[in-house]
Amino acid sequence: MIAILFTGGTISMRHDPAAQGAVPALSGREILAATRGIEDVADVEIEEWGAFPGPHMTIERMWALRNRIRTHLCRPELQGVVVTHGTDSLEESAYFAARSLAPDKPVVFTGAMRTASDLGWDGPSNLLDAVRVAASDGAAGYGAMVAMSGRVFTGLDVTKAHTHLLDAFESPGLGPVAVVDDGEVIFRRALVPSMAPLDPAEPATPVDLVYAAAGTDARLLDASRRDARGMVVAAMGRGNVPPAMVPGIERWVADDKPVVVASRAQRGRVGTTYGYAGAARRLVQAGAILAPGRRPQQARIDLMLALGLGMGTADVRALFES
């Protein structure tokens, strides 16, 4: 038995003349009815969890979804869980599940890049593939995954890399862990041992994210410092920022609030290669924390989970350095 949680997203949308665009319209049952052959893969049960476009998924909703997934995973009769989700925030919900749960059973997120009004609606095929993955014996131990366009990615490293193509999702520099070929799920690489899950009662919010660009200064950092509990800087390249951002980062550190530095680049790690003003080495010397292999949105989730566990700056530093 596979539980399917329908949360909304493009997979549930069709064109609305009054709105002059696509809006959520289909129920989970209607999407399931359009997914031919699913009954040959596994018995399924559905839960109409929500009807949210991807950008409407708040941290609180993501956490509630994560907790609902955990409840289903505890049911002995279930083999796995499938979640339909808006693709704009799908990677964040998948990462939340991957970093805060350690399930023996698979959790497979999926969605669609085209609506039910479009020629070539990909929702039913993606849903069928997700159920195939969740029902696969080979999925054990992979935890949270994303199944889109015949490819399967781990929730730990997947990102939406294109705005509208069907194969919009990637794991930059790594590729998929599996593919679905003629109905068969073929796992192609194993996962390296991952960090222990972070399982707070709830994530700490707000944790803000500021992007560095040419000429960026400290205004957004300073505006955020009053209310936010932590900051992630999406830095350039190896973790470097314009010099005008540095005083803002130093003021965060002086307040004993963690500042985590990731890279806005899709591939690679941040590191202390450079030593000029604003470079990652100088930021670390000032008290900032590097997030070596995490993208900014992933670092933000890890920081929310860590602060939710009551970690101080030193513990957060140890977490990211590990």
SS3 316: helix
Q: Which long-range contacts (CB under 8 A, 24 or more apart) does 30-39 make?
A: 31/6, 31/84, 31/123, 31/124, 31/127, 32/4, 32/127, 34/116, 34/123, 34/124, 35/123, 35/124, 35/127, 35/128, 36/124, 36/128, 37/128, 38/127, 38/128, 38/131
Amino acid 73 reads L
Query: Across the strands, what pairs with 174?
Result: none
Q: Are 263 and 239 contacting, i.e. CB atoms less than 8 angstroms apart? A: yes
Cα dihedral: 56, 59, 61, 63 (round 10): 150
Rg (CA), the chain: 20
Residues 14-44 as b/e (b if ≥16 CB within 10 A, e otherwise) read eeeeeeeebebebebeebbeebeebeebbeb
Query: Which residue intervals of the chain are DSSP H helices?
Result: 28-33, 59-73, 87-100, 123-135, 219-225, 246-254, 280-286, 296-308, 313-321
Spatial neighbors of 20 by CB under 8 A, at least 6 apart, are none
Backbone phi and psi for residue 79, each to the nearest 5 degrees, phi listed first? -90, -25
10 flagged as catalytic: yes
Q: Are strands 151-154 and 144-148 parallel, antiparallel or unpaired?
A: antiparallel
Indicate which residue of 10, 87, 110, 154 is catalytic.
Answer: 10
299: three-class secondary structure by DSSP = helix
Q: Could you give the residue numbers annotated as active site?
A: 10
